[in-house]
A and B are shown apart, each in its own frame.
Chain A
């Protein structure tokens, strides 16, 4: 009985901590409103053996520190390492299959990704200059790795157009 009371007390503590967390988040210091829309094309390739590419999209600081993963399209975790830059910057520390950003590989087409500027914990990313990075690796195929400098938090609309060499086609980034 006494044990049970103890557990209840403990639970109460956890609840209070959780409540504090929620309050802290609501009063987060970064309240800029910005939406980041990304359009990524996986090109159709005329090759004999085609496996859908693994793709990672993530944010880094200008000092090359991994900040946040926006998307990881993959099948087997054995091959996550083949997205080498993403793997060293964020994947190996920060990625689990349960992440909202994790999904299956995709066939050649154009895909939209919308990101609200929140990190994994639901916190706004501090304003500043960042690199949005794209990496694609295809089994028995090639690899692509592209980065674009962007600014978050200054509420200036931005538009960038990039193009991959092999495994990624056109990429459009719109920040509003």
Chain B
């Protein structure tokens, strides 16, 4: 019984991680101790990451480098994710995460001036969702996976998700913010480490490194949902260029969430592309 429960928990977690579809979406985030630092010497920060609907209150770990003493099935889930640190020169640096019961933890040293981008990325993965002969929902991962017989509602998706946070030492720069070109990313005029209340900022969502050419819904949720009755989400619809403006009224940490599902071209071996993006932003008074 216990095992069965655990198994279903992990498979739903796996789905949670990988699928971003509206019906399954769970919040996920990287929360740094600091986003803005000063000083000539190397500055250190600590970070946590988690899958949780209570914004910035962790519920499940999100990353691990394979050394943590946790269930093997969770390790399997973490293997599907890449943890990437990009330094202010745009170079990739090693980064290590350890999973604990409810969250993952990491430390990071900022040896250079400028902006670092710390990410947990789900590379494009094939997933087919369908209904079994008895009508129950099911899914299979992998490009040419064998499907059961007599299934209906078959949808083949290529899914990719990204969890980002930005940290700057001294003057921020934008090299680490250059788009990778896969899935959804945050760009635009404003810098994510230069956010203050009552100051309008302009961002732009990029899809595969380019303008999405369709409106995308963006959701901003301030931390501490566990301790208030209303989630007080800020809902924004971007322009077709992906551009959007926002003026924060309250200081604090915010989670930005965006999702998009696009039909694939005809004769493609998939039906939809599904991309999701989770970014932690800190707003100062």
User: Which residues on A are within 8 Å of B, measured CB to CB?
Assistant: 48-49, 139-145, 165-166
> Does B192 lie at the interface of the complex (its beta carbon under 8 Å from any beta carbon of A)?
no
- 6 A-B pairs with least C-beta separation: A140-B53, A143-B229, A48-B22, A142-B230, A142-B229, A49-B25
**What are the interface flags for B16-30 relative to A under an 8 Å C-beta threshold, 1 for contact and 0 otherwise?**
000000110111000
> Does B231 lie at the interface of the complex (its beta carbon under 8 Å from any beta carbon of A)?
yes
The contact of B23 among A49, A144, A165, A166, by CB within 8 Å, is: A49
With contacts A139-B53, A140-B53 taken as known, whether A48 is within 8 angstroms of B25 at the C-beta atoms is yes
Q: Give residues 25-63 of B contacting A (CB, 8 Å).
A: 25-27, 53
The contact of B231 among A142, A145, A165, by CB within 8 Å, is: A142
- A166 CA to B232 CA, complexed, in Å: 11
Nearest-CB residue, chain A, relative to B226: A82
Nearest-CB residue, chain B, relative to A136: B229
Which residues of chain A are within 8 angstroms of B22 by Cβ–Cβ distance?
48-49
Which residues of chain A are within 8 angstroms of B217 by Cβ–Cβ distance?
48
- A162 CA to B23 CA, complexed, in Å: 31
Nearest-CB residue, chain A, relative to B52: A140
Q: List 17 A-B contacts (CB under 8 A).
A: A48-B22, A48-B217, A49-B22, A49-B23, A49-B25, A139-B53, A140-B25, A140-B53, A140-B231, A142-B229, A142-B230, A142-B231, A144-B229, A145-B229, A165-B229, A165-B230, A166-B230
- A145 CA to B229 CA, complexed, in Å: 9
Nearest-CB residue, chain A, relative to B27: A140
Q: How far is the CB of B125 from chain A (nearest CB, A)?
A: 21
Q: How far is the CB of B94 from chain A (nearest CB, A)?
A: 34
Which residues of chain A are within 8 angstroms of B25 by Cβ–Cβ distance?
48-49, 140
Among A48, A145, A166, find the residue whose CB has the most chain B CB atoms closer than 10 A. Answer: A48
Asked if A140 and B229 make an inter-chain contact with CB atoms under 8 angstroms apart, the answer reads no
Asked if A140 and B26 make an inter-chain contact with CB atoms under 8 angstroms apart, the answer reads yes
Which residues of chain A are within 8 angstroms of B229 by Cβ–Cβ distance?
142-145, 165-166
Nearest-CB residue, chain A, relative to B221: A140
Which residues of chain B are within 8 angstroms of A48 by Cβ–Cβ distance?
22, 25, 217
Q: How far is the CB of A31 from chain B (nearest CB, A)?
A: 41
- A144 CA to B26 CA, complexed, in Å: 21
6 additional A-B residue pairs with CB within 8 Å, beyond A140-B53, A140-B231, A165-B230 = A49-B22, A142-B230, A142-B231, A144-B229, A145-B229, A166-B230
Which residues of chain B are within 8 angstroms of A143 by Cβ–Cβ distance?
229
Asked if B23 and A141 make an inter-chain contact with CB atoms under 8 angstroms apart, the answer reads no
- A165 CA to B229 CA, complexed, in Å: 9
Nearest-CB residue, chain B, relative to A145: B229
Which residues of chain B are within 8 angstroms of A166 by Cβ–Cβ distance?
229-230
Q: How far is the CB of B234 from chain A (nearest CB, A)?
A: 14
Which residues of chain B are within 8 angstroms of A165 by Cβ–Cβ distance?
229-230
Which residues of chain A are within 8 angstroms of B26 by Cβ–Cβ distance?
140
- A134 CA to B140 CA, complexed, in Å: 41
Which residues of chain A are within 8 angstroms of B27 by Cβ–Cβ distance?
140
Nearest-CB residue, chain B, relative to A165: B229
Among B25, B53, B229, B230, find the residue whose CB has the most chain A CB atoms closer than 10 A. Answer: B229
- A145 CA to B22 CA, complexed, in Å: 27
- A13 CA to B19 CA, complexed, in Å: 60
**What are the interface flags for B227-243 relative to A under an 8 Å C-beta threshold, 1 for contact and 0 otherwise?**
00111000000000000
Q: Give residues 143-169 of B contacting A (CB, 8 Å).
A: none
Which residues of chain B are within 8 angstroms of A139 by Cβ–Cβ distance?
53
Q: How far is the CB of A140 from chain B (nearest CB, A)?
A: 4
Which residues of chain B are within 8 angstroms of A49 by Cβ–Cβ distance?
22-23, 25
Q: How far is the CB of B198 from chain A (nearest CB, A)?
A: 26
Q: How far is the CB of A6 from chain B (nearest CB, A)?
A: 36
- A15 CA to B56 CA, complexed, in Å: 56
Which residues of chain A are within 8 angstroms of B230 by Cβ–Cβ distance?
142, 165-166
- A156 CA to B247 CA, complexed, in Å: 55
Nearest-CB residue, chain A, relative to B233: A47
Nearest-CB residue, chain B, relative to A141: B231
Q: Give residues 181-230 of B contacting A (CB, 8 Å).
A: 217, 229-230
Which residues of chain B are within 8 angstroms of A140 by Cβ–Cβ distance?
25-27, 53, 231
Nearest-CB residue, chain B, relative to A50: B23
- A90 CA to B23 CA, complexed, in Å: 32
